[in-house]
Structure 1
């Protein structure tokens, strides 16, 4: 009898035995529809019925049609588990440890070969999984790919609390695999369209901590989960199966957050997290889903270097900020007579701020020069230490409003009454309820507005594909660029008061300033490319401006804006607008808008609108 024949007989014997063990074993037919097997294969119900796997890599499957046939994949896996033990690390038991453990338990596979999975055992021992932390690097305004925030998992070892060994933990991350140097705009576009493959990566946590809190200056929120060591280990086993396995990556649904929810469903069978996100998976929404599922045990906050720098510099006077800049560039000026004449307590604050400024710019400068300046300033701090830095913890990211917004409005345009109905898929603008969001941030994706005038006259008012604004204030120590970009369809003022629907792509750059604690001013130069059939050249460029103020007041947020576009064909448009939102509750807002439009083609037009905004996912 050949080895292959003996193996097949053993498989059939096991399958026959399984039918007589209904209390603790099952048949392959039954297991193929088990939610846990579906989760292990990352299957979803196909649009036209049947199954399809999110995994876009043939190397993950053992059956030829395994990507669309969970039963065939299960049968192929059971057969593969009986391959000769001499295969060693290449044995399917070594390649698929999570599948192996589960099938062994459910099918009572007591006679499996015992290959030596040396690579997996060494890797698992090095990771040493014991507990899990969901990490949320908060939104970062000046990076288009980071404006939604991000999530990753930290896999901790058993002595994490007693020995404070978080830096020795591993970060489990899913992200786009980028080859080459795509710029931010190309990166955003390809991310939207699924132009990058997505890969899981397990790397030292200290590397990710450096990347997010230092290089991108993002606050970190750490949500300790109540997963048991067994559940954490079960999840890590599956991560080994996904090593170098490719998925399609999309910013809004099949992204970092969605993939991690799938892993948590592997860790704790029975929880349902991904079903809440059939269309989009915004990171803050997925954090909220994890919280609602009762998985969060504790929340810790780690401020970014930028937040710490600004907090330390906040009590400094203008002349003291000048000293911060001088010392950060040349610590030898610590011995200047003018500097030593300052009170010791003020020098303590100045040199600590200078040290933090040097560390903030560390990624952009030569390491040796930066290290020398840091050492000199740190020595001065040790001789004259400042008071400990007290930072107020900002609102939790998941405490903000939901991502999808329904809008119902009534108003008047040049004495014509109208009703307006809107839907925005994601996720925040300058006037929206602010808790959990930074002031001056706006990122709107797929916004539709339909307007109904008197006489039952309907029209498409606007369709925004994207509308992003980053108004990051400048100060004496940091000089970030403010910018905006958008595109879609919108109504503009035309001849004789007509409002033609035009297509456009627009953008701009400039600066923003913190005029007061709750008052932001901004000014940007803009450019616009418009498709307008009313123009002699239907595709026409324009240069312009956009400026105004954003005021956080007791009711909510108020914006006062003025904008203008000067087309090459001589057409000039200007707009003055005011928007005030009343934050009725976290997920309900009432917005009053007033606007006056000017065009050389028509008389000025006034519009007033009152809008109810319901934030709902």
Structure 2
């Protein structure tokens, strides 16, 4: 159903004499203007012509408007001359951005003047003046957030003078999900466009709570140098997109890509979306916005978890035990042993306990017990306030390496030399150049490796669909689980000392521990299922372990790892490996790898390789 009533066609016919006569050549030129293409969210079709990213027929006035910008422009121009008494249903009220642009381009001085009361009240309430690009950092425990997210904050004119950022609006594009899909179904539908994507304008304080509090994610705020006019131009187009559906895809047509389209509307002439023909990973889009000269300043908001850990960092073991006890029982505030501590140390303990109570209540219903506990801790803090909290700002996420990686290696497997060629679509592993990434986080999507042995023998070495690791260290106050999951095709030792290409899915869960400032130790129990031609059952299962050390050193990152799988059919595999990467530059790394594999089916095998990694989008 179109946005305008069926009788509008009759109305426009009655008023057709008022519509300017536009030569076909002029119409085609105007319809091909980049700004009109941006307003319709058109792209060049795979087989030529045009197609719109908008997957909602009510957005278009022409029957073929989704594939014909010229037809949509003509239909829009005709509709603008509809009688003004249509009120809020008038096309000028529904399409304010189109109206403004066509009026300016064609000098339309004779347009009707509908009141558009609903749109004007909405626009006045938002009162757009400036724009902030907000990047909630990556959060591995949520399939929709493991690459991070981007949204826009629309500020009013007095945001600095009156510190009113919490009263601003957040402009967000995201998947609309009805019901409660599990993580696997969510990931599949997100990859295949199974969810509709919608724009939404909501109070910024609500989004801030969702990302910084509920998911414990750091927030980066990039103030853009858009003028009030440019910000208003973007917001008026958002009105046109109200409840308009796009197909949502995790890797390309996602939150970040849609926001880049809006910025192109705000400032005509900048080209942002052309840089992302295949994937649009949030950190890459932030980098593109920065390189386009749109960023004016950058602010950092640490998550609740970061604030808690920063407050607890100077506390010794006994003091952190006091934090745990106070968070459970505030009656201990009057304990003589606590009161005997120096006021300065007691202040840090009380503040950390308050932050721990808030952290534990994240995502839970507010209870009277938690409210009373928080209030009593706040009273103690007010009587003995701590020093202001200072959280170190980490490296900017956009200063990390590019997301796509080309790999070229040379090595030997026992006495057989080989060359290895690889491509990874996204985006970071434990040994990659660390600047801009958290230590212990790994997300690899679609990695292909081909090997060329002597005598020109080629083979597919591995095809990883996804490999994800979250090695978050445990501490006195917080004890998160570490976990990993991986799936795809890989080579495994086979009979007659040959290698078999097997399909597999495996995962593990355990713990990680901080070993100094730049090292992590981890240990996990693992499970694996595998299809292997050497095994009698179609699917074989195994239990195992994966343990190791991750150390960020002066050269780069080093991992030492020992892993094993014990199959129910008697096969036993174990692997010892070492990887050291030299960080040559932000987007160039040199990695040395060595491993020894043991199998019941084959003799032990030694493999070494030197690999050049080029991080290139």
TM-score, length basis structure 2: 0.97
- Alpha-carbon shift at residue 382 of structure 1 (Å): 1.1
Conserved in 1, the CA contact under 8 Å of 2:177 and 2:195? yes
Structure 1 distance, partners of 2:393, 2:446, is 32
1:109 match = 108
CA distance in 1, matches of 2:65, 2:511: 53
What's the offset of the Cα at 1:27? 3.0
Q: Residue 15 of structure 2 is aligned with which of 7, 25, 33?
A: 7
Residue 132 (structure 2) aligns with: 133
1-structure distance, mates of 2:369, 2:186: 32
What is the Cα deviation at residue 156 of structure 1? 0.2
Alignment of 1:516-555 (within 5 A): 516-555=516-555
1:52 deviates by 0.6
Aligned equivalents of 1:3, 1:264: Cα separation in 2: 35
Q: Please give the root-mean-square deviation of Cα atoms over the aligned residues, in Å.
A: 1.3
Q: Secondary structure at the match of 2:576?
A: strand
CA distance in structure 2 between the aligned counterparts of 1:224 and 1:279, rounded to whole angstroms: 27
State the distance in 2 between where 1:392 and 1:338 align. Answer: 32
How far is the alpha carbon of 1:584 from its aligned partner? 0.6
Secondary structure of 1:535's match?
coil
Q: Give the 5 Å matches for 1:389-538.
A: 389-538=389-538
Which residue of structure 2 aligns with residue 171 of structure 1? Answer: 170
Q: Distance in 2 between matches of 1:594 and 1:157?
A: 57
Question: Contact 1:141–1:472 at 8 Å: present in 2 too?
Answer: no
Aligned counterpart, 2:31 = 32
Shift of 1:184: 2.5
**SS at 1:516 equivalent:** coil
Judge conservation of contact 1:588–1:612 (CA < 8 Å) in 2: yes
Q: Distance in 1 between matches of 2:238 and 2:145?
A: 24
Q: Is the 8 A contact 2:12 2:78 kept in 1?
A: no
Aligned-partner SS, 2:258: helix
**Secondary structure of the residue that 1:489 maps to in structure 2?**
strand
Q: CA deviation at 1:3?
A: 6.1
1:582 aligns with 2:582: yes
Deviation at 1:4, TM superposition (A): 4.9
In 2 relative to 1, CA 422–575 (structure 1 residues): closer, same or farther, beyond 3 Å? Answer: same
Contact kept? 1:595, 1:606, Cα under 8 Å: yes
* Counterpart in the other structure of 2:7: none
The residue number in structure 2 matching 1:230 is: 229
Distance in 2 (CA, whole Å) between partners of 1:262 and 1:321 is 48
1:82 CA drift (Å)? 1.3
Do 1:197 and 1:248's aligned partners in 2 also have CA atoms closer than 8 Å?
Answer: yes
SS state at 1:161 partner? coil
Is the Cα contact below 8 Å between 1:27 and 1:107 reproduced in 2? no
Contact 1:89/1:118, CA 8 A, preserved across alignment: yes
Q: Return the TM-score normalized by structure 1.
A: 0.97
Query: Is 1:52 matched up with 2:51?
Result: yes
Alpha-carbon distance in 2 for matches of 1:582, 1:75 = 59
**Cα drift, residue 565 of structure 1:** 1.1
Supply the distance in 2 between the matched residues of 1:564 and 1:416 (Cα, whole angstroms): 25
Contact 1:131 1:225 survives alignment (8 Å): yes
Per-residue CA distance 1:264-291 (angstroms, 9 max, x = gap):
0000000000000000001000000001
CA distance in 2, matches of 1:216, 1:110: 51
Query: Is the contact between residue 431 and residue 557 of structure 1 (CA under 8 Å) also seen in structure 2?
Result: yes
- 1:334: how far off? 0.3
Gaps of 5+ in 1: 20-25
Contact 1:135 1:151 in 2 (8 A): yes
Range with bigger deviation, 257-266 or 502-511? 502-511
Aligned residue for 1:155? Answer: 154
How many correspondences in the alignment?
607
**Aligned 8 A contact 1:466 1:488 in 2:** yes
- Residue pair 1:197, 1:246 contacting (<8 A) in 2 also: yes
Describe the SS at the equivalent of 1:222: strand
Cα separation, 1, equivalents of 2:496 and 2:320: 55
Q: CA 1:343 to 1:111, structure 2 compared with 1: closer, same or farther past 3 Å?
A: same
CA distance in 1, matches of 2:470, 2:189: 21
Residue 90 in 1 paired to residue 89 in 2?
yes
| Structure 1 residues 611 and 257, CA gap change in structure 2 (3 angstroms) | same
CA-CA distance at 1:534 after TM superposition: 1.7
* 2:322 corresponding residue in structure 1: 323
